[in-house]
Structure 1
Amino acid sequence: MNIAVQANSAQSSEADAARIFALQSAAYRNNPVVPLNDRLDNLKCLERILLDNQDAICAAISQDFGNRSHQETRLLELFLSVDGIRDSRKRLAKWMKPQRRHGSVWFLGARNSVVPQPKGIVGVVAPWNYPLYLVMGPVTSALAAGNRCMVKMAANSRHLCALLHRLVKESFAEQTLAIVPDISGPAFSSMPFDHLIFTGSAESGRRVMKAAANNLTPVTLELGGKSPVIVAEDYDLKTAAARILQMKTVNAGQTCVAPDYLFIHESRLDAFVQHCRVIVPTRYPSLSATDYTSIIDQPSYVRLLGYLDDAESKGAEIINLLPGNISDKSTRKIAPVLVVNARDDMLLMQEEIFGPILPIKSYRTLEEVLDYINDRDHPLALYLFTRQSQVQDKVISLTLSGGVAINDCGLHVAQHDLPFGGVGASGMGHYHGYEGFLEFSKLRPIFKQFAYPAFPLLYPPYGKVFERLIKLMLRD
């Protein structure tokens, strides 16, 4: 495509997005509070799209990746999306009820309440690694809160984007929900949304936040980061290895909450590595296994192999957990790999890996592990394997992360009644379940005065009554 054609296409996409935004703005102005039944109908419609088009969705995602098993997509994207929609439908009536709030004795007879109301138009910027779930999760929360939604998907998700664009357009009016294909990230983020949610890298998140700031648009940022795993001395190594490797190898490690590096006691390192050598081939017999996902694109494939070359050149031991070659250029697959003796000057310890590579650092005391974690940006997730409640309490109280999973990895994301979100460099804001409903709602405080209030006694001119009352109000 030449430059002139690209420019015309971009202008057309931006014009179409502006048209949809105008439709949604008018719809919000005419009907600012969507009734419960309409919200439930929207969620049912969203669920129906997913259930009726499972095979097409799985095929589109696999085509975008080069290879991704349909079973993996059905479990991690379709099931989690559908289950989240059903949970929201079940609880939505309760979430929408006004909340009674306490009032001061000095305003006796008055009533306080908080009413959740839709913010308006929510923009959703979704990444490529879980291109369905990371669209449906925010859209579910936004529609449950009564908003209109516009969605921008990643360039690497073009087949799924085309499919969802068609399916959504067939089932939803554009003034309620629209997938906007081909629009650039900066153009989309610069639109005057009433809320914008972005999932992606920290660097892209900074750009999105700057663009949104021009419109004072509130943002939710889900940014990832380097999520550590700690295996304490008391925990069974085989169980730990089995659970850690599941989240590190699913989607070939291209997961924002994948374990990014592992701390294991120095006395248990060799045993842990041996368990990994046994476990992985039972799940993926070879690099060509159809259940094993390809790396999303060539630049990412080259980047990950560069991390391994850099680590090896700096003294790390590279352990291929599958028989045969460590990579296959024709399929863009990289085998699950352990990097033993990982050092901080290695590239894979400085950047979020986003691939099936697990650096391992040995430790002697828990205190040195906590110091290491606290010297770095707050991660999106922290994983701890221990049966000891004292160790659990210590790690939780002395660190900060977006979320914590104890004795497993990643499954906290699938709990609909737990908020999901980062902190600091790993993001801001929460969604999923009730917190998602709140994130996309304006909690509007309402004060209703009593018919015969006492407060006029404090009106000027100030005299003896005022002095007696204010002394009573400020008494020690």
Structure 2
Amino acid sequence: MSPSPRAAASSPAPVYPFPGTEPVEAAVARIRAEADARTAHPREVREERLRAVRRMLTDHQDRFADALARDLGKSRTEALLTEVGSVISEIDHTLAHLGSWMKPRKVSVPLAFQPASAQVAPVPLGAVLVIGAWNYPVQLTLAPLVGALAAGNAVVVSPSEKSPATAAALQELLPAALDGEGVAVVEGGADCVQALIAHPWDHILYTGGERVGRIVYEAAAKTLTPVTLELGGKSPAVVTEVKDPAGMARRIAFGKFTNAGQTCVAPDYVLAVGPEAHAQVLRHLPAAIAEFYGPDPAESPDYGRLVSEDHARRLVDLLAEDVDAGAHVVIGGEADVAGRYLAPTVVDGVSLDGALMREELFGPVLPVVRVDTLQEALDVIAARPHPLASYLFTDDDDDRAAFSAQVQAGVVSEGVTLLHAGMPTLRFGGVGHSGIGAYHGEAGFETFSHLRPELTKGTGVDTLRAVYPPHGPVKRALLPKLL
């Protein structure tokens, strides 16, 4: 029987040894050799590897649900919905469209270059590195892998050591599912990642925080390795007075408190525009939290836990600093640092330069800041680094247009939170400080492919003689007409 999330979360996060993990040098050498052998290029190989990953997820969903409960206190439903099911959906979408994605795309040839044909052909990059994240350790490790395998690459996967139970499951199950071909799983801490990124790759995709993202970016620059960085930032939710405030509050609460707020696209703070919207937020958010998690979220099987005591202590300290400065807790605030628990918390009266507004919170604390106008809210967002997501709740078309025109973020989402991150039909990625590049669906396939231009021109009739030297008066007169 799998332990309940509440029972699993009452003790510190488990620590697992990884005696079976493949050594870095051996894994890199094997994957590079497989990439050079081009064994993953045929479509049937790509599809079979994707199906193997899918079978692993369906056959071992209990193992993954148990691991996610141990690492993050996730309920079975949340684990299957946001992690296992999300990746299965990504695989199904990819299998349905892979044939069309792989086809070369014809492009036109200028008259001066004819007769000739030209196309853009997606070809595998080769050997790629996927560095996963701890907050969604199945989804954020395997969803990029889907794109990499679909594009015909050989892959080294490095799951996060901060979610050790899930990393152990991936280390054991993924190579077995693929019969030890095409993928290597290398688990370890910072030293392991440092050793991996010191190697030249054909692409690196990293998901995590900005600090480590900079380290990956700097290391990749030394070997001229292209990168995709999926980072984060303080994603805002702007609220104007709406006709359905209860619905608005449920959408924000769902986005914020799923996975105990440890979601890179969670609303990080609320900008309430005007007194009516401010009152709606403060009245209905507590009701939504109570509806989701009951009178005591610590007893709810649907409310998760923080990844570590250190993370819990950091959030508690930030909250205390702002409360000492005059902010007040509307709901929540109860904490058990040793148990990695912090209740869903809404804080009002937060200053824009307060502790809770200095950095991405990545936890279940939601600051609310009242502003007088939508333009003031837009100016607040513009003054900060570009976030990974931005959310708007309004009934006004002019507000929608202004928000879309002025907000620079990885995604603009109106009326709902989080949903875009689970859609394989939408690109997922940041801009500026929130990331470089994108994946999911076709965007993931293209991220891990070289879109190679190909030009074919027959030699039977040499129509280029007009451009060959020597360039006498006749050719000089003719060339401008050809170009």
TM-score, length-scaled by structure 1? 0.93
Amino acid at match of 1:176: G
Change (3 A) 1:313 1:27: same
SS of residue in 2 equivalent to 1:127:
coil
Amino acid at match of 2:305: S
Deviations 1:171-202 (A, max 9, x none): 22434012112252211222222110101110
- Equivalence for 2:75: 69
- Equivalence for 2:434: 426
Change (3 A) 1:328 1:261: same
Structure 1 residue 199 corresponds to structure 2 residue 210: no
Deviation at 1:277, TM superposition (A): 2.0
Deviation at 1:13, TM superposition (A): 9.1
- Equivalence for 1:189: 197
Change (3 A) 1:398 1:191: same
SS of residue in 2 equivalent to 1:117:
strand
- Mapped to 2, the partners of 1:402 and 1:63 lie a distance apart of 31
Amino acid at match of 1:400: Q
Deviation at 1:472, TM superposition (A): 2.0
- Equivalence for 1:270: 279
- Mapped to 2, the partners of 1:389 and 1:33 lie a distance apart of 49
SS of residue in 1 equivalent to 2:438:
coil
Deviation at 1:242, TM superposition (A): 0.8
- Equivalence for 2:185: 179
- State how many pairs are aligned: 461
- Mapped to 2, the partners of 1:469 and 1:13 lie a distance apart of 69
Structure 1 residue 295 corresponds to structure 2 residue 301: no
2:343 to 326, 331, 335: 335
- Mapped to 2, the partners of 1:125 and 1:314 lie a distance apart of 39
Deviation at 1:27, TM superposition (A): 1.7
Aligned residues of 2:241 and 2:280 also touching (Cα < 8 A): no
Aligned residues of 2:40 and 2:154 also touching (Cα < 8 A): no
Deviation at 1:18, TM superposition (A): 1.3
Structure 1 residue 231 corresponds to structure 2 residue 243: no
Q: How does 1:276-425 map to 2 (within 5 A)?
A: 276-285=285-294, 286=296, 287-321=298-332, 326-425=334-433
Amino acid at match of 1:301: A
SS of residue in 2 equivalent to 1:181:
coil
SS of residue in 1 equivalent to 2:453:
strand
Aligned residues of 2:22 and 2:184 also touching (Cα < 8 A): no
- Equivalence for 1:41: 48
Deviation at 1:465, TM superposition (A): 2.8
Change (3 A) 1:174 1:138: same
1:97 to 103, 106, 116: 103
TM-score, length-scaled by structure 2? 0.92
Deviation at 1:300, TM superposition (A): 0.3
- Mapped to 1, the partners of 2:239 and 2:395 lie a distance apart of 10
Runs of 4+ in 1 over 6 A off after TM superposition: 12-15
Change (3 A) 1:168 1:105: same
Q: How does 1:87-166 map to 2 (within 5 A)?
A: 87-166=93-172
SS of residue in 1 equivalent to 2:163:
helix
- Equivalence for 2:14: none
Percentage of identical aligned residues? 35
Deviation at 1:427, TM superposition (A): 0.4
Structure 1 residue 26 corresponds to structure 2 residue 33: yes
Unaligned runs of at least 5 residues, structure 2: 1-16
- Equivalence for 2:4: none
- The farther-off stretch of 44-53 and 151-160 is 151-160
Q: How does 1:210-225 map to 2 (within 5 A)?
A: 210-225=218-233
Deviation at 1:33, TM superposition (A): 5.8
- Mapped to 1, the partners of 2:194 and 2:228 lie a distance apart of 16
- Mapped to 2, the partners of 1:408 and 1:161 lie a distance apart of 31
Aligned residues of 2:124 and 2:448 also touching (Cα < 8 A): yes
Deviation at 1:109, TM superposition (A): 1.1
SS of residue in 2 equivalent to 1:362:
strand
Amino acid at match of 2:331: N
- Mapped to 1, the partners of 2:220 and 2:151 lie a distance apart of 21
SS of residue in 2 equivalent to 1:401:
coil
- The farther-off stretch of 238-247 and 280-289 is 280-289
SS of residue in 1 equivalent to 2:350:
coil
- Mapped to 2, the partners of 1:185 and 1:348 lie a distance apart of 30
Deviations 1:313-333 (A, max 9, x none): 111111224xxx711245221
- Mapped to 1, the partners of 2:21 and 2:246 lie a distance apart of 53
Change (3 A) 1:449 1:33: farther
SS of residue in 1 equivalent to 2:429:
coil
Deviation at 1:122, TM superposition (A): 1.2
- Equivalence for 2:445: 437
- Mapped to 2, the partners of 1:448 and 1:33 lie a distance apart of 26
- Equivalence for 1:53: 60
- Mapped to 2, the partners of 1:178 and 1:15 lie a distance apart of 7
Amino acid at match of 1:35: P
Amino acid at match of 1:77: E
Deviation at 1:444, TM superposition (A): 0.8
